[in-house]
Structure 1
């Protein structure tokens, strides 16, 4: 499996080779990035994200992690089922010399469309046919159980799609909990709130690498205004507590961070400043 990663951000972390691929991006209104901001604050955030007219891009950064014989993806994107600007993951895998059949492990952080819907093709077949799948126990239990039926009507499509895709992997899924190992050196961090069973990931190295996924959805808002929510947070209070605890831990451990919706490549370091934080990208 020859890899050409010159077009993508790649680095070595401990025993892991990490390449940040992209599924494309979502275009979202400023209210989704910062629901609690006032008009002036929101306009400033949209501008700093490179947007205009109250619209900005939320990138879909997907880590490809290679260690030993395992080829691991953390999330699979939207599969071109949400916005036409998404669905690029498989194309970008091919560009680094990885075929979908080479992937041995797929970690699904949560069941929102832009993280899960790419798991199957239009005909219902698995996009990554040789992989085993990892989902948080609490996330699986929520979407496959009765509590999801109580979600508002506008979220009902999420429920039916999550059940469709979880059913497709049901014969090859492992349900993990906080601290469980995906492989040696790569473990689950329970980070609930964005969804009931949302998970982040931790890779061991000289310092930890924490893949925050949507526990910290913006490199601006989540750091500078950690008490503010993200528009898709399902339990805003729990998400807030989780986010602050996660960022405090990352700052305390001098961890490297990788965020799903952050400006590509979404990799950098954290510094705690008073009650807020500063994110410094590797591209700065």
Structure 2
């Protein structure tokens, strides 16, 4: 059983941050690095602790404590996407916070591993007392008719997004670039991975940027920022967005927290030629 002291926690300005986990998803090398050749892919997978064609991508979920609010950034997949996920509620309880104590949930985007933990199998909300925030563009994409133009293989993503977004339709706030969720916690529009993907910036002596899937890997996104991620819905825009975001992180000496990065996914980056180098915090990885 995971203990609370196994989770990485830190202070950032006025905020307390604990990096929880929903588990991990298993992804093939063609998802981590679609443009790579076979040798490059295998080297990347080995650097991520995998091999033989696949590696694990963690699902790091920040719990933000403002002193008056408990805020989650995304809700994981529940047990609806891959069987290695669905651990968020248990791990949240293990750090002493019950689901009904969550007061705000920010949804970065509506892909399964970020959203499908929203609703329990009995139809009730997993976080029944929370207010929910998602970008206006993301809401309009999935709840409108544009999702119907996605390939047939992605139509389950559309159905799942509509199911879970409809469940919060009476308590959702639609946000735009620059909006504050609470004072000191600001929305960054980072489109490309999905139409309305958002990251978050937290004020401090230097910013903390929660990149989510605008930078899907601490290896590929840094070493090959010109490459896409296999689930990017608009790869060209995603690459452009990532480069802008990472350049801003370097110029601000920002701390970064990545959703799919090796746990806890927290560190800084520096320029390395035309690419970047990730400098992780020194902490053990949570085994899930």
> After TM superposition, is the score higher than 0.5?
yes
Runs of 4+ in 1 over 2 A off after TM superposition: none
Tell me, yes or no, if structure 1 residue 197 matches structure 2 residue 196. Answer: yes
In the alignment, which residue of structure 2 is the partner of 1:151?
150
In the alignment, which residue of structure 1 is the partner of 2:165?
166
* C-alpha separation in 2, matches of 1:140 and 1:187: 18
Tell me, yes or no, if structure 1 residue 49 matches structure 2 residue 44. Answer: no
* C-alpha separation in 2, matches of 1:220 and 1:47: 11
* C-alpha separation in 2, matches of 1:63 and 1:226: 24
In the alignment, which residue of structure 1 is the partner of 2:286?
none
* C-alpha separation in 1, matches of 2:230 and 2:136: 24
* C-alpha separation in 1, matches of 2:52 and 2:272: 31
CA-atom RMSD in angstroms? 0.9
Deviations 1:15-37 (A, max 9, x none): 00000000000011111000000
**How far apart are 1:237 and its partner, in Å?**
0.3
User: 1:133 aligns to what SS in structure 2?
Assistant: strand
* C-alpha separation in 1, matches of 2:158 and 2:81: 15
Contact 1:212/1:258, CA 8 A, preserved across alignment: yes
Contact 1:76/1:115, CA 8 A, preserved across alignment: yes
* C-alpha separation in 2, matches of 1:167 and 1:121: 14
* C-alpha separation in 1, matches of 2:233 and 2:116: 18
Deviations 1:208-238 (A, max 9, x none): 0000000000000000000000000000000
Contact 1:5/1:19, CA 8 A, preserved across alignment: no
In the alignment, which residue of structure 2 is the partner of 1:90?
89
**How far apart are 1:274 and its partner, in Å?**
2.1
User: 1:22 aligns to what SS in structure 2?
Assistant: strand
* C-alpha separation in 1, matches of 2:243 and 2:186: 20
User: 1:6 aligns to what SS in structure 2?
Assistant: helix
* C-alpha separation in 1, matches of 2:122 and 2:183: 34
In the alignment, which residue of structure 2 is the partner of 1:264?
263
**How far apart are 1:147 and its partner, in Å?**
1.1
**How far apart are 1:6 and its partner, in Å?**
1.3
**How far apart are 1:140 and its partner, in Å?**
0.2
In the alignment, which residue of structure 2 is the partner of 1:127?
126
In the alignment, which residue of structure 1 is the partner of 2:107?
108
TM-score, normalised by the number of residues in structure 2: 0.96
**How far apart are 1:42 and its partner, in Å?**
0.4
User: 1:90 aligns to what SS in structure 2?
Assistant: helix
Deviations 1:59-111 (A, max 9, x none): 00000000021000000000011111100000000100000000000000000
TM-score, normalised by the number of residues in structure 1: 0.98
* C-alpha separation in 1, matches of 2:167 and 2:9: 31
* C-alpha separation in 1, matches of 2:80 and 2:141: 22
Tell me, yes or no, if structure 1 residue 253 matches structure 2 residue 252. Answer: yes
User: 1:268 aligns to what SS in structure 2?
Assistant: strand
Where structure 2 has 5 or more consecutive residues not aligned to the other structure, the ranges are 284-288
